[in-house]
Amino acid sequence: MRRKGLRRLFFVSGIITWLILVIVDVWAVFAIRSGFGLDIPTWLPRIILNLYILSLFYYYKFRIDRDEQLNFVDLLWRGFATGLVATIISLALLLLQQLLGDTRLATDVIYLELNYLINLGLLVSFLIATFTVWKRLILYQKSKWLLRLWTFFEYGFLGLLIYDCVAAESLTVFYALLGLFGVIAIVLAGNMKWVAFLNYKQKWTSLLLLLLTLFYLVYIFNSTRVLLGDSHMAEIRFINHHTSLFMWTMLFFVLIYNVFSFLVILFNLPTTSVFEQKLEEVVNFQRISQSIQTEQSEESVYGILLETSVSTVFADAAWLEIRNNEHKPRIYTYKITESEANDIISHLRINGVTGVLDQNQDKSKNLSRHLRTLKNSRFRSILAFPIYVKGDNIGRLALLKELSDGFNKEMTKIVATFANQAGISIENFRLLEEALQSERYKEELKIAKMVQKSLLPQILEHGRDFEISAFSESADEVGGDYYDALRISESQTALIIADVSGKGTTAAFHMSQLKGIFHSLSQDCISPTMFMIKANKALVYCLERGSFISASFFLIDSDKKEVHYARAGHCPVLYYKASEDKISFLKDRGIALGMVKNNSFSRYIEQQKFTYQPGDVMVLYTDGITEARNERNEEFGYNRLVKTIFDLKDFSPKEISERLIEELYRFSGRDRINDDYTTMIVKF
Amino acid sequence: MIHITRIQEGDVDILRLVGEIDASSSIELDLAIAKSVSEGFSKILVDCKSLEYISSAGLGVFMSYIDEFADKGIHMVLFGMNEKVENTFTILGLHELLKIARDKEGALALVR
């Protein structure tokens, strides 16, 4: 808004100064003609003119120089438009003069003076407008040095304005200054970077605009001069404004840049297509790189690769062959049918062309030779490139032209870059896919963890005369530890603790199998040995080679106060006997489930029995607990376990299990223990 | 980490295990045994004197060869285990399925 206000202010001040100039000059002429004494110093109208020039300079500075939205053609148009308006007004005045003919008014000096001043105002306005436009153009992509020179140039003009007011009419100084500024103007006129950024159409427009601007310049300057040369005026002219040093220099600069621009654009015309092509390449290259982030699928990357390659090298057709895991490669085509493409592919294969996938070969020559021998094909040149993703050749890009020898080395290079870039795009795309996929797996694992947690009993059955508490934690999302308790009858409860060898998902699956087996077998008051034999039979063919499950099965009879149990390779039970105040391990024979496939399993398993008394504590656990390690790589071990349990023996089962786990964490000194661990405490 | 060296004494192939066998290094053990078998040895001794730890995955490797060796008549004897490692075998019941000797002489006596 402030800018707009300033622009208006300078416009108004321009008009006012021009009006003052008219009044002063006309009055001076009037005074001379009437024979009055001349009491106006010559520098006064000069200063007024200078103020007019400065007003216009700032007006155009705000109107043209500061307007960021103008492109090059818009800028030229501004210069041209000002010239057009000036010329039309000037022509109208000329027409009016013709119409007036030899009437008194036509020869009236005041009228002539007014006519001259209007033309002068137009000329100055036009010159300043063009000057500002040239400034924008010259300073496009400016260097520090250029900016300094320009600033000097501009201040120089200010100096010239002052010189015009005060200096004596010394011809030597006049020509010296004109020469100096002329040289600077020519140096500045060499800055034509903007021309390269015009496209073909813009260049033609610019040529026309520049030509017309040139015409207007010459015309208006000339018409002002003609007016001056008028015989009526010659003797009574008060002051001759338009031949000041400033005017000459400005005119020279504006003219010289106009002519230079015109010529440069003219000679640039034939090479424009090359520049445009280069620009297109850059844009296409960007499109391919950007497709990494924006495109939804690999297919759209292929699409962009095809399109950009074709448009960059002006190919007539193209296809993209992508080998997926499927047997037959997929073909994406552009302006060619799939059968045509297949014809060429098979033709090349028959001719044994192997260079297609060799990156270092000069492809343009090698392949096209073979194409000539293919009948019914409109194509005479072919260029083919392999596309690599992570070092694997996933396909190739083929470009075709109807001309023979249609591809040059430059094009080969560019398309090779495109193919590389597309390979990278696809690779990134696949990485992104993989990342998403693994994110999905993580989610799945989270669900698996929840499911597995639900497989472990939330509330453990407790009998008439005992309480159970358990704790379990997995190293991975899911684990292979299992424990459960099932009330079979009023007096009998079955307990199980098991550890599937290995960790993670496979272990978790076997653990869920075991749960099924436990729940179905233990219902029938089965003996511990029988349970183990049947469980082994059920599991042995499900477990993969090298996997096994260690388990202990207990049957607690509250009537007889007896525990019957069998151990299948599981860690020996730790038993605290209250009557003796002693802890011992229940060691006996037994091999893990899944180790022996034949019926000999029963030979290795034995059933044991003991009686319990109130206060006894039975500690079931998995090897994750005894094998937990601390920072010095020491195992928690059996001795520490015995000691810990002995200290905790008087607590409730829940407290014992919680404190045992606490102790374990304290020992390991880490937040995570790198194995599954489970404990189940039974207190009678 | 496990380091396995093989020394042949006549028709006996001796695998010397140094270090620890966990889930990842158990693969090396499996490969070493498989190689010995593929080279035609029918008498394999496993020297466990420097075996410090074996996980269930390592035990699974030994276990997985039991049936195959019984069918092919290959004798494998483990010897020289320290107490802790031996305990691991015992708890799992593997000592009933595998031949385990106190020392090399005992192991050689078992294969001959």
In this predicted structure, what is the pLDDT of residue A1? 67
Interface-testing mutation among B21, B22, B61, B63, with chain A (most A C-beta atoms within 10 A): B63
Q: Is B23 in CB contact (< 8 Å) with chain A? A: yes
Contact with chain B for residue A595, Cβ under 8 A: yes
Top-confidence range, A29-38, A59-68, A182-191: A182-191
pLDDT at position B63 is: 86
End-to-end Cα distance, chain A = 90
pLDDT tens-place string over residues A331-387: 888 888 888 888 887 887 777 666 555 555 555 556 666 777 777 778 888 888 888
**Which residue in the block uniquely carries the two structure tokens 């076997």?**
A510
Which regions of A299-434 does DSSP assign to beta strands (E)?
317-322, 330-334, 381-389, 392-401
In angstroms, the CA A466 to CA A493 distance is 10
Query: Average pLDDT, whole number, for chain A?
Result: 83
Q: Name the band, by pLDDT with cuts 50, 70 and 90, for residue A315.
A: confident
Could you please report the per-residue DSSP string of A11-23? HHHHHHHHHHHHH
**Rounded distance between C-alpha atoms, residue A468 and residue A495, angstroms:** 10
Q: Are A497 and A680 in contact (CB under 8 A)?
A: yes
Distance CA A53, CA A120 (A): 11
B-proximal residues of A, 598-617, CB under 8 Å: 604
Residues of chain B with pLDDT under 50: none
CB distance from A570 to chain B under 8 Å? Answer: yes
Checking if the pLDDT of A211 tops 90, the result is yes
* pLDDT 10s digits, A556-605: 998 888 999 999 888 889 899 888 888 888 888 888 888 887 778 888 88
**Which site among B24, B92, B94, B96 would you substitute to test the A interface, given the most A Cβ atoms closer than 10 Å to its Cβ?**
B92
What is the model's pLDDT at position A542?
83
- Phi and psi at residue A57, to the nearest 5°: -55, -45
pLDDT score at A673? 66
Classify residue A73 by burial, with Cβ atoms within 10 Å: 0-12, 13-18, 19+: middle
Greater confidence (A1 vs A26) lies with: A26
Pairing state of beta strands B43-54 and B12-21? Answer: parallel
Share of chain A above pLDDT 70, in %: 91
Mark A22-39 as b/e (b = at least 16 C-beta within 10 Å): bebbbbbbeebeeeeeee
Query: A604–B93: do the CB atoms touch at under 8 Å?
Result: yes
What angle do the packed helices A528-540 and A504-522 form, to 10 degrees? 140
DSSP-derived secondary structure letter, A329: P
Q: Which residues from A are below 8 Å from B94, CB to CB?
A: 569, 591-592, 595
- pLDDT, residue A352, reads 67
**In the predicted structure, residue A176 carries a pLDDT above the cut 60:** yes
Work out the minimum CA distance from B18 to partner chain A, whole angstroms. Answer: 17
Closest residue of chain A to B27, computed from CA coordinates:
A546
Q: What DSSP letter does each residue of A234-281 carry, written as one string? A: HTT-----TTSHHHHHHHHHHHHHHHHHHHHHHHHGGGHHHHHHHHHH
Q: What local confidence, expressed as pLDDT, does residue A148 receive?
A: 92
* pLDDT over threshold 70, residue A171: yes
Contact B56 A623 (CB under 8 A): yes
A53, A55, A59, A62: CA torsion to nearest 10? 110
Q: Where are the alpha helices (DSSP H) in A269-408?
A: 272-294, 298-313, 338-350, 363-371
Mean pLDDT of A424-445: 85
User: Are A665 and A606 contacting, i.e. CB atoms less than 8 angstroms apart?
Assistant: no
**Cβ pair A572, A608 in contact under 8 A:** no
**Interface membership of B100 toward A (CB under 8 Å):** no
Question: Residue A396: what pLDDT?
Answer: 82
Contacts of A503 in chain B (CB under 8 A): 23
Q: What is the DSSP string of A480-546?
A: -EEEEEEE-SSSEEEEEEEEESS-HHHHHHHHHHHHHHHHHHHTT---HHHHHHHHHHHHHTTSPTT
Determine what percent of chain A is predicted with pLDDT higher than 90: 14
With CA atoms as reference, report the closest residue to B107 among B76, B82, B86, B84.
B76
B109/B112 Cα distance (integer angstroms) = 5
Write the DSSP string, A547-600.
--EEEEEEEEETTTTEEEEEEEBPPPEEEEETTTTEEEEE------BTS--STT
| CA–CA dist A151, A180 (Å, integer) | 15
Q: Is the CB of B60 less than 8 angstroms away from the CB of A597? A: no
Q: Could you tell me the CA-to-CA distances from A4 to A13, A131, A276 in Å, in that order?
A: 14, 21, 37
- Residue A682, strand partner residues: A468, A618
Give the span between the Cα atoms of B91 and B95, in whole angstroms.
9
- Paired with A387 in beta bridges are A395
DSSP state of A629: B
Least confident of A48-62, A98-112, A126-140, A150-164: A98-112
User: Can you point out the beta strands (E) in chain B?
Assistant: 2-9, 12-21, 43-54, 75-79, 99-101
| Nearest CB to B91 within list A546, A548, A569 | A569
Which pLDDT score, from 0 to 100, does residue A359 have? 53
In degrees and rounded to multiples of 5, residue A680 shows phi and psi of -135, 125
CB contact under 8 A, A546 and B64: yes
Residue-wise pLDDT tens digits, A461-489: 777 788 888 888 887 777 788 898 888 88
- How confident is the model at residue A430, as a pLDDT? 82
Q: What average pLDDT does the segment A150-156 reach?
A: 92
- Give every CB contact of residue A114 below 8 A, 6+ residues apart in sequence: A22, A26
B101: which strand partners? B79
- Count of helices and strands (H, E) across chain A: 21, 14
Please name the member of B30, B60, B91 whose beta carbon is closest to the beta carbon of A501. Answer: B60
Q: CB distance B57–A546 less than 8 Å?
A: yes
| A–B interface: beta-carbon pairs under 8 A | 59
d(Cα B25, Cα A355) in Å, to the nearest integer?
45
Smallest CA–CA distance, residue A638 to chain B, in Å, is 11
Answer whether residue A157 shows pLDDT above 60. yes
The token pair that represents A219 in the structure block: 């015309």
Q: Quick check: B110 contacting A, CB < 8 Å? A: no
Q: Flag if A595 and B91 touch (Cβ within 8 Å).
A: no
Query: A380-406 in b/e burial notation, b at 16+ Cβ within 10 A?
Result: bbbbbbbbbbeeeebbbbbbbbeeeeb
Do B85 and B54 form a contact (C-beta atoms < 8 A)?
Answer: yes
Residues of chain A neighbouring B64 (CB-CB closer than 8 A): 545-546
Question: Are the beta carbons of A595 and B94 separated by less than 8 Å?
Answer: yes
Q: Quick check: A548 contacting B, CB < 8 Å?
A: yes
Answer yes or no: do A546 and B61 touch at CB < 8 A.
Answer: yes
Kindly determine whether residue A569 and residue B57, on different chains, have CB atoms separated by under 8 Å: no
Task: Tell me which H or E stretch contains A606.
Answer: none
**What mean pLDDT comes out for the span A642-655?**
88
CA-closest candidate to residue A14, choices A66, A49, A65:
A49
Main-chain dihedrals φ then ψ at residue A586, nearest 5 degrees: -85, 95
* pLDDT classification of A256: cutoffs 50, 70, 90: very high
Pairing of strands B75-79, B43-54: parallel
Cα-Cα-Cα-Cα dihedral sign, residues A640, A643, A649, A652:
negative
3-class SS letters over A32-90:
HHHCCCCCCCCHHHHHHHHHHHHHHHHHHHHHHHCCCCCCHHHHHHHHHHHHHHHHHHH
Helix (H) or strand (E) holding A680: strand A677-683
pLDDT average, residue stretch A14-27: 88
Q: CB distance B91–A568 less than 8 Å?
A: no
Please report which helix (H) or strand (E) contains residue A168, including its range.
none
CA diameter of chain A: 151
Q: Is A142 helix (H, G, I), strand (E, B) or coil?
A: coil
